[in-house]
Amino acid sequence: MLLAAARYSFANARVRALRSKRLSGEDFYFLLQADDLAGLLAYLATTSYGHVRPDLPLRSVQRHLFTTLFTHYHKIAGSLRHAAGRRVILALFARFEAENLKILLRGIAAGHDHAVTDPLLYPLGPLSTLAWERLSECATPEELIRALEGSAFARPLAHAMAQYQAGGAIPPLEAALDLAAFRHLAGAVAALAGRSDRKAARRVLGGYVDILNCLWVIRLRVHFGLSPEEIVNYSLPGGRDISLRDLHRLAKADTVARFIARLPTGMAARLGSLRDWPEFRPALQSMLLRLLRRTLASFPFHVGVEAGYLLEKEMEIRAVITIMEARAQGLAPETVAERLPAALLRESPHV
C-alpha cells in the first residue's frame, strides 16, 4: 500500500488536475446544438480546447485537437516514478506511432510525397523518439522498414512484407503495425511487478482490447465480408475476457442476436437490447467509458488510473471530432447524439 502510494501519488494528483478540465454534458449539448462548424469551433474555444485554430482546414483542426492528449501523455509519463508503470503509458502512446506509420504507408501506396501526408499525421510531440522527418521521406515500404530499425515496428513489418509483395495491398502491413503496438502494450502490462498493479492494468487495458476486437469483428464481417479465419488473424492481443476462440465464434455470427449470445455473459446482458449493427459502436464505447470511470473512482495507486484517464481523454476528443464531421454534413443534433457514448452526454459539470 505505502509502496504503491509512493509510486503513483504524484501521477495520480496530476491525473485529477487534468481530468478536472474535461468537457461536461452541458458542453457536449452546446457543441451538438451549434448551427454550423464555425459556431461549434467558437464554443470549443471557450473550453480547454481553446488553443485550436479555427482558420485551419477541418482535418488539420481535428489533428490539432490531439495536441492536448499528447501533452497529457507527456505530463503523466513524466510524473510516474515507477519505471514499469511508465513503460505501460509509453506503450499505450505507441498506438499513435503505429497510426502515423499507417498514414505514411498509405501515402507511399498512393504515390504521395511527404508534403501531402505530413499534415495528416498526429502531432506526437517529444514523447515519440522515431525519426519522423526521415520516415516521411521514405518512398517504399522497404525504405520505411530500414528507417525503423531498432524500433518495435521494424521486425513485424519485415515479416509482413512477403504477404504485401504477393498481393500488393497495404492491409497486411497495417495489421502488422497494430499487432506490434498491442503486443508491446500487453508485454508492458505483463512486466508489471506488483500483482494489484498488473491486475488493475489488465482490467482496464484488457477490457479496452476486448471492445476493440468486438468492433473489428463487426467491421470486418459486416462491412468487408472477411471469413472468420481471416478476421481472427486481425485480432489484437491482450484481451481480458474474449479469447481467440471466442472471436472466431463471434466472427461466424450472422445476426445481431447470435453475436450478442456469443459474448461473455456480462457484455451480453448490457447489449441485449441492440437490434442493428450500427448500434454496437456507441454501446460498446459506453461500456468502455463506464469501465474507465469505475477505475478512476476506485483505489487510486496503480497504473490503471493513468491509462484509464488517457483513454477517457481520447474518447472525448474522438467524440468532438464525430460532432465536427456531422455538423459539417448538416446532420441533426439527435442523429449525431446517437453516434456518441451516452455517458459522455450525461457528464456532470466540474466545479
Q: Is residue 88 in a domain?
A: yes
Instruction: Tell me: pLDDT of 260 over 70.
Output: yes
Please state the length of the chain: 351
Q: Is residue 139 in a domain?
A: yes
Q: Is residue 286 in a domain?
A: yes
Please give the grid coordinates belonging to residue 265: 455473459
Share of the chain above pLDDT 90, in %: 78
Render pLDDT for 169-192 as a digit per residue (tens, 0 to 9).
898 999 999 999 999 999 999 999
Q: What is the pLDDT of residue 345?
A: 87
Q: Which domain holds residue 279?
A: 2-345
Residues 6+ apart with CB under 8 A from 184: 91, 94, 152
Q: What is the pLDDT of residue 298?
A: 86
Render pLDDT for 191-240 as a digit per residue (tens, 0 to 9).
998 888 999 999 999 999 999 999 999 999 988 899 999 899 889 999 99
Q: What is the pLDDT of residue 2?
A: 64
Q: Is residue 293 in a domain?
A: yes
Q: What is the pLDDT of residue 138?
A: 95
Query: Rounded to whole angstroms, how far apart are CA atoms 211 and 220?
Result: 14
Q: Is residue 350 in a domain?
A: no
Residue 188's Cβ-side half-sphere holds a number of Cα atoms within 13 Å equal to: 26
Q: Is residue 351 in a domain?
A: no
Q: How confident is the model at residue 351 (pLDDT cuts 50, 70, 90)?
A: very low
Q: Please give the tally of structural domains in the chain.
A: 1
Instruction: Tell me: pLDDT of 94 over 50.
Output: yes
Answer whether 320's CB lies under 8 Å from 31's CB. Answer: yes
Please give the grid coordinates belonging to residue 122: 498526429
Render pLDDT for 116-137 as a digit per residue (tens, 0 to 9).
899 899 999 999 999 999 999 9
- Mean pLDDT (whole number) for 102-119: 92
Where residue 225 falls (left for φ over 0; alpha for ψ -120 to 50; beta otherwise) is left
Q: How confident is the model at residue 139 (pLDDT cuts 50, 70, 90)?
A: very high
